[in-house]
Amino acid sequence: MELRVLEYFLAVAREQNISRAAEYLHLTQPTLSRQLKDLEDEFGKILFIRGKRKITLTEDGLYFRKRAEEIVSLARRTEAEMKNPDDMIAGDIYVGAGETDAIRHVARVVTQLQQEYSGIKFHVVSGDSTDLVERLDKGLFDFCLLLGAIDQSKYEYLELPFYDKWGVLMRRDAPLAGKTAITAEDLWDKPLIISRQIPNNARMMKWIGKPISELNVIATYNLINNAAILAEENMGYVLTLDKLISTEGRNLVFIPFEPEQTVGMTLVWKKYQTQTKAAEKFVEAFSAYVRGQQ
C-alpha cells in the first residue's frame, strides 16, 4: 500500500466521481480505476459502490477513508518537519482543543511566538476530549487543551490557572430566564440539550443528582454553535460552559449553576515523544505565560 495510492483513494472519495478525480490527479481514468481495483484486491474488500454517475463508499470504504486521512496527514507532517533546516525554528504546531474561552490564552502565546519565529504556523482543531485524545495518541496533534481530569500516567502536562463555569444557555423568554442562578432541581423536568460527554462526567452527574435516564434529554451535541441555535428555536435548555457563545444581540441568555460548578483545563502532550523545535518553543513560551498569570 503506497502513499500515492492512498491519495488517489481520497481524491475519489472526495470527488465521488472517477473522471473528476482523475482530472484532479492528472491521471487517465483507466489508470486510476486500475489503481483502485488493485487496492480493493490487496485488502480483499469492496471499498466503493460504483454507480452510473456517482461513486459512494461502502462501510469498509468509510473506515478506510478515516485511516487513510490519518496516514496521509501524518506523512505530510513528517515530510515537512524533516525538510526544515536543523538550525531553523519553523514548522506547524497542531493543537486539539475542547471548546473553551481559554483558547484566547493559547492565541496570545502563539502571537508572541510568531513575532519572534515567523516560520511557525499554528493549527487548532476543536472537538470533544474523546476525539482529541485519540488523535493526539496517533501523533496527529502536538498538544491538546483538555477540560477536566486527565490521565497523568500517559501525558506530559501543564496545568493552567484558568477555569470555565457551567451553566445553562436558554431563550430570554424561557421560564427559567429570570433566575440569577440555576439549581439542579430547576432542570429535572425541563427539556435538556446536553454535551454528549456529560453522562461520563462523574462530577456533573453528581451535581445533577439524577441518572440520565430520569432526565428529559431531548438532544445531545458535541460543539456548541449548533446547540445554541436549538435553544434559540425553543427546543430546550443547553447545558454548557460560559463565554462560549456571545448572547449580545441574540435571543439568548446564559445563567450559571448554583452551587457554582467550574472545570479546570490542562495542556497535554505525549510522554517520551520527540518534539519539533517549534513545539519545544511553544511549551517554553506557554509555561512562561502561565507563570506570569499566577
Chain segment 155-191, per-residue pLDDT in tens? 999 999 999 999 999 999 999 999 999 999 999 999 9
Query: Span 219-246, mean pLDDT?
Result: 94
pLDDT band at 51; cut points 50, 70, 90: confident
> Is pLDDT above 70 for 87?
no
60's torsion region: left (phi>0), alpha (psi -120 to 50) or beta? alpha
Q: How far apart are CA 29 and CA 35, in angstroms?
A: 10
Give the pLDDT of residue 257: 97
The 10s digit of each residue's pLDDT in 122-133 is 999 988 888 899
**The pLDDT of residue 61 is above 70:** yes
Q: Which residues pair with 160 in a beta bridge?
A: 265
What is the per-residue pLDDT for 84? 66
pLDDT at 86 over 70: no
pLDDT per residue over 209-228, tens digit each? 999 999 999 999 988 999 99
| Cα–Cα distance, 68 to 8 (Å, whole number) | 10
Residue where the block lists cell 460552559: 241
Quote the mean pLDDT of the chain: 90
Q: Which three-class secondary structure string do you get for 108-170?
A: HHHHHHHHHCCCEEEEEEECCHHHHHHHHHCCCCCEEEEECCCCCCCEEEEEEEEEEEEEEEE
Element (H, E) at 232: helix 224-232
Q: What is the pLDDT of residue 145?
A: 94
> Could you give the domains of the chain?
3-81 (1.10.10.10), 83-162+264-293 (3.40.190.10), 165-262 (3.40.190.10)
Strand partners, 219: 193
pLDDT band, residue 146 (cuts 50/70/90): very high
Looking at residue 115, what is its pLDDT? 93
Q: How far apart are CA 129 and CA 265, in angstroms?
A: 11
Report the C-alpha gap between 197 and 222 in whole angstroms.
Answer: 8
Q: How confident is the model at residue 293 (pLDDT cuts 50, 70, 90)?
A: confident
Phi, psi (rounded to 5 degrees) for 236: 175, -160
Q: Which amino acid, one-letter code, is at 22? A: A
265-284 tens-digit pLDDT: 999 999 887 788 889 999 99
Is the per-residue pLDDT at 88 higher than 70?
A: no
